[in-house]
Structure 1
Amino acid sequence: MSHAFELLQQKVHHHLEVIYQSVDSVDDITGLADELINVMRLAQVQEEPVPHQNHWSQSDCILITYGDSVKMEGEKPLHTLLSFLDQYCNGLINSVHILPFFPYTSDDGFAVMNFSAVNEALGEWSDIEDISKRYRLMSDLVINHCSSRSMWFENYKAGRHPGRDFFVEMEDPDADLRAVVRPRTSPLLRPTETVEGMKHVWCTFSHDQVDLDFKNPTVLKEFVGIIRHYLDRGVNIFRLDAVAFLWKELGTSCINLLETHETVRLLRTLIEYAQPDAVIITETNIPNRENLSYFGNANEAHCIYNFSLPPLLVNTLITGDCRYLKQWQMSMPPAQNGTAYFNFIASHDGIGLRPAEGLLQDDEIDVLINTMQSFGGRVSWRAAEGGKNKPYEINIALFDALQGTIKGPDRWGIDRFICAHAIMLGLEGIPGIYIHSLVATSNDYERVKHTNHNRAINRHQWDYPKLTEALEQSHTQHRKVYDRLKRLIAIRSVQEAFHPNATQFTLHLGYQLFGFWRQSINRRQSIFCISNVSDQEQHILLSEINLIGTDRWIDLISNSVFESIEEGLTLQPYQTVWITNTPISD
């Protein structure tokens, strides 16, 4: 028995002791630890994972997409997606997050019927493997719940295994559940007829998404087996969907509980021993401080979604005032080596508002909501204390969200949109770009009407020949945005100072100029990132940003050279500069 294996046993045993310390029915922790290790096929492990190792660099950029965001008649969507990746992303984006590609019943994939199969309408496992051979593959582990039409839930209703004890039952449906944090307005409990009579099962998100009971270790074993299966199929990055709600304990908020955090640590241990360069990203759409807790002590999630960035950045660009974005950035701790922020500003869901709580004032959130609604956006709600509903997220395509300011639409839409991405691409962390941002897709009102779901507004399905035509014509918004984003990503990918863990400091340039300084880990390169977030010209002296006078400085984006730090710099509305002393190119 190797030393690495003994250490693995000790770690897994400790995790399980913490997770199940208050579950009386779980008494054989050693046996359970051995089972999990065997499921992950780690009995012959010889090496320990290297701690605090960064499995990413400035060259990493993740495209976020559904398996059928691009479609072509007569072809499986996963084939079409690979064609799109090779034609428009090769050499530009090296990683792809394919949103749930499993058989499902609702929520565009997040009500999973079978975690181990590929949705036949999309393709098959060989298609997933083909993509994983050419791009680093990120997959959802929809760990909190499954479809009400899954085999597990059908078995639950029939009293059969596996499934009969996989779900959270409430013996007293009238119990006080007011402390439970909810992301939706639907009733928490679902009445369900079973062979043992009427039961009430827990449904955090919808009655088609039934929460799994991780107090039953068999559920944990099932998901460890699913993880092993995904690794075998080429998945390298695991997005733990809605993981904050994993553990339920009456009398608590049932969010961010100790057992939930320890379960993430357990999964990280097992995944790291199985594949040392694999990465866990936690998807926790919650207030900023709670979100940060999923880093643990560099022993939990490798990466966390930077959920506060989208609402703060959109607020900045529609108001022309970066004070709240700046305050938040100064409060953010640098990620330790072995961890990183996952930055994004658009997603398949929407602009989350819970991550803005405590960062934006209520009246500012109201202005943000009203402005987005005037640009065609929708609002989704959640249940809050006292039986009231609160805005949960804004559903809108980012291209339309940035078409104007609080004063209304204007002529700066594309520049404002590019500015948002230039800021995101420069920040500490790994950037994720939603496919509909890369190609400047607008609000899809027909899809909202067809599905009756607000989120569908930003889940357009492109006919691939039509998308290709739009991207080949120089005058379209799609081509203009694609070309400019492509150039920014290419520049970013080779600059050492844009490493996800490179040093970052906030610059103080007033409220219309948002700026920060990045310095490479080896200290050879500095980049000063400055964006005009207003619709008016802004002027600055280079000496105001502490450039070293003996160095030669150049803006990577415009290729402008600055001969002296005494020069003045005029930034046009929504212009960004990346000023460096050591430009790096291919």
Structure 2
Amino acid sequence: MMHDTFPSDALVNLYGAEDAARCEAELRTLVSAMSGGQPNAKNRVSVWLLAYPAHLEDADLSGMQALNSLLDHTDDQFQHLHLLPPFRSGGDFGFAPADHFELESKAGTWNDLKALSHRRTLSIDLILNHVAPSHPWAEAVLAGKVDLDDEPFIRVDPHADYSALARSRHHPPVSAYGSVDGVRHYWTRYGHTQIDLDYRKPQVLIRMAKVLVEYAHRGVGGLRLDALAFLWKDASRSSANEPEVFHLLEVFRWIADRSGLTTLIAEGDVCAGVSPYVTPDARRASIAYRYESAPVVLSTLLRSSSAPLMKWIQDHGHQLHRTPALNFLSTHDGVYLRPYDPPVPPQDIDVLARATLDNGGAVIERVVNDAVLRYELDISIIDLLDGEGDGAERLAAGITLICWLPGTPMVYLGHLLGVRNDDELVRVTGDERARNRGSISLTEGLQRVRDGIGARVIEAVREFREVAAAYDAFDPASPIGVGPDLGDHVVSVTRTGANSSALCLLSLGKSRTVQIPAKYRPDGRDFVDLGPWESIVLHEIGSKRESAT
């Protein structure tokens, strides 16, 4: 769905009528030669893969070539690839862009990148909030080649009061840089390696709009808007999710729709089925992250108890389908615990934290109003789940559970490859999140997707896609509910579409025989046997299959 009207009011609210009119004219000219994108017509069976270009190593192939080779052996089970930053960078695993278009040599070429999109939608990150000090924009500023009014950054007083800001990292919000006229201080929410852009100036919006349009011109199908919440800066406010952020988002959505993009992903939260980043009128993002899915499902797996998932669905299931959302076990940033509004009780956070520490991970904490909050778990998922030696089985079960949720499932490539904690990468980078970003050889990766842990993950995805293609109960917007109570060790959920209804059962850890409710007995069976971590989907009598596509 593409919204036809330019968001003129949004620009006026940002810049005033006169500057908004000039900005709108330039943006219209920018996209005038582009063709609008068409949303994916059949997205019910879409499963996403999230991957770094450096996840796989091969002496003769670039990172993207190696990734493409691996994808050739996944039986096309992933219809959307989100490729994490492949561009030349000043740090933060690609999220400190030193250039928006020059690729890291190890990652590969633009031809390699385009090849990744041949059989799937390809998304990359549009890093909107900042650039590296080595970026040409920053180098020109620090060399004195740019007038103060035209600087795309925010000069600040290092002694000012920044206590109102919502902080993302432990780094100070201000960094000092040497320049042609001495030391200057700039706004750096994420630290010294990333200088924040100043969207209070319309020319900054136009610069980043040009980057967006160029990505679309080069064949990218979707973009994730990185650090979206922090685009608008005001030291007297939190500078997180300010109203101006959503005005900017509406402008970027208008540009994306007219540039050939089919997907605009907000790095923002969908909580209990609600998100300010995604609206029914298609004026903002296409989809956002459901961060709460990770701690809920992982608690269920680690406890071998259906209680965390069943309680969450009981409380929020009536609205989880209302907003397009990505469900996952973790991302490249680990497991975000949503500390300000956790989706599971403190005792389940304790279980997650204890399992993380017991299996070589780190629990990142934040101090807010003198309270210590568990913020993030930095650990590979296979290490987190493998405490009893059945990590592969638990992982495959977790993939099944995120597939059953309303929305769209996303699998991190590290899960598919069964990559373990990389403590050496943590030591080298000084970043605890690096533990979840290790790499393996392409040869080993291919073995794992053929007959190892990757094969189990792919089979879980395949089973979901087959049933989702046949029954509209698994449409991303179909409601979910709690199924019949079959005991604490059996997940029992229902999905209901316009023409079908399904009962989804998963045994948590042990073999079980469960009784099937009468309306889900099309073949006359009264009971079904489930092995350890085994699942089954039963369709209500009278459910209609969808036409083959």
* TM-score for both structures, normalised by structure 2: 0.89
Q: Deviations over 1:200-229 (max 9, x none)?
A: 212222210111111111110011101111
Which of these residues, 5, 12, 17, is aligned with residue 17 of structure 1? 12
Q: Which amino acid in the other structure matches residue 287 of structure 2?
A: C
Q: Which amino acid in the other structure matches residue 18 of structure 1?
A: N
Partner of 1:556: none
Q: Which amino acid in the other structure matches residue 279 of structure 1?
A: T
Q: Take 1:491 and 1:326, find their aligned partners in 2: how far apart are those partners?
A: 22
Partner of 1:190: 175
Cα drift, residue 96 of structure 1: 0.9
- Secondary structure of residue in 1 paired with 2:7: helix
Partner of 1:82: 68
Q: Contact (CA 8 Å) 2:80, 2:121: kept in 1 or not?
A: yes
Q: Which amino acid in the other structure matches residue 472 of structure 2?
A: E
Which of these residues, 492, 509, 513, is aligned with residue 515 of structure 1? 492
Q: Which amino acid in the other structure matches residue 527 of structure 2?
A: G
Q: Take 1:328 and 1:495, find their aligned partners in 2: how far apart are those partners?
A: 24
Q: Structure 1's 480 and 279: CA in aligned 2 closer, same or farther, altered over 3 A?
A: closer
Q: Take 2:91 and 2:513, find their aligned partners in 1: how far apart are those partners?
A: 51
2:74 corresponds to 1:97:
no
* Greater displacement, 463-472 / 429-438: 463-472
Q: Contact (CA 8 Å) 1:498, 1:518: kept in 2 or not?
A: yes
Q: Take 1:495 and 1:487, find their aligned partners in 2: how far apart are those partners?
A: 13
**Aligned length in residues:** 539
2:225 corresponds to 1:240:
yes
Which of these residues, 330, 334, 340, is aligned with residue 324 of structure 2? 340
Partner of 2:22: 31
Q: Which amino acid in the other structure matches residue 301 of structure 1?
A: A
Partner of 2:59: 73
Q: Deviations over 1:173-199 (max 9, x none)?
A: 222222211121111111223344433
Q: Contact (CA 8 Å) 2:270, 2:290: kept in 1 or not?
A: no
Partner of 1:527: 502
List aligned pairs for 1:88-127, cutoff 5 A.
88-127=73-112
List aligned pairs for 1:400-419, cutoff 5 A.
400-403=383-386, 409-419=387-397
Cα drift, residue 390 of structure 1: 4.1
Partner of 2:349: 365
Q: Which amino acid in the other structure matches residue 423 of structure 1?
A: L
Q: Take 1:572 and 1:350, find their aligned partners in 2: how far apart are those partners?
A: 30
2:533 corresponds to 1:574:
yes
Q: What RMSD, in angstroms, separates the aligned Cα atoms of the two structures?
A: 3.0
Q: Contact (CA 8 Å) 1:440, 1:482: kept in 2 or not?
A: no
Q: Take 2:272 and 2:164, find their aligned partners in 1: how far apart are those partners?
A: 19
Q: Take 1:291 and 1:174, find their aligned partners in 2: how far apart are those partners?
A: 38
Cα drift, residue 80 of structure 1: 1.7
Cα drift, residue 411 of structure 1: 4.3
Partner of 1:563: 524
Cα drift, residue 444 of structure 1: 2.4
Cα drift, residue 494 of structure 1: 4.6
- Secondary structure of residue in 2 paired with 1:174: coil
Q: Structure 1's 305 and 203: CA in aligned 2 closer, same or farther, altered over 3 A?
A: same
Q: Which amino acid in the other structure matches residue 85 of structure 1?
A: L
Q: Structure 1's 27 and 195: CA in aligned 2 closer, same or farther, altered over 3 A?
A: farther
Which of these residues, 116, 119, 123, is aligned with residue 131 of structure 1? 116
Aligned-pair identity (%):
24
Q: Contact (CA 8 Å) 2:396, 2:456: kept in 1 or not?
A: no
Q: Contact (CA 8 Å) 1:247, 1:254: kept in 2 or not?
A: yes
Q: Take 2:66 and 2:147, find their aligned partners in 1: how far apart are those partners?
A: 36
Cα drift, residue 145 of structure 1: 1.1
Q: Contact (CA 8 Å) 1:439, 1:481: kept in 2 or not?
A: no
Q: Deviations over 1:339-367 (max 9, x none)?
A: 51111112211001226734233443233
Q: Take 1:494 and 1:130, find their aligned partners in 2: how far apart are those partners?
A: 30
Q: Deviations over 1:393-414 (max 9, x none)?
A: 11111112112xxxxx324332
Runs of 5+ unmatched residues, structure 2: none
2:474 corresponds to 1:498:
yes
Cα drift, residue 513 of structure 1: 3.2
* TM-score for both structures, normalised by structure 1: 0.84
Partner of 1:406: none
2:215 corresponds to 1:230:
yes
Cα drift, residue 231 of structure 1: 0.7
- Secondary structure of residue in 2 paired with 1:443: coil
Partner of 2:519: 548
Q: Take 2:502 and 2:496, find their aligned partners in 1: how far apart are those partners?
A: 6
Cα drift, residue 518 of structure 1: 1.6
Q: Deviations over 1:515-560 (max 9, x none)?
A: 322233xx33222112234x455554322xxx537x61xxxxxxxx
Partner of 2:271: 288
2:375 corresponds to 1:392:
yes
Partner of 2:46: 60
Q: Contact (CA 8 Å) 2:339, 2:373: kept in 1 or not?
A: no
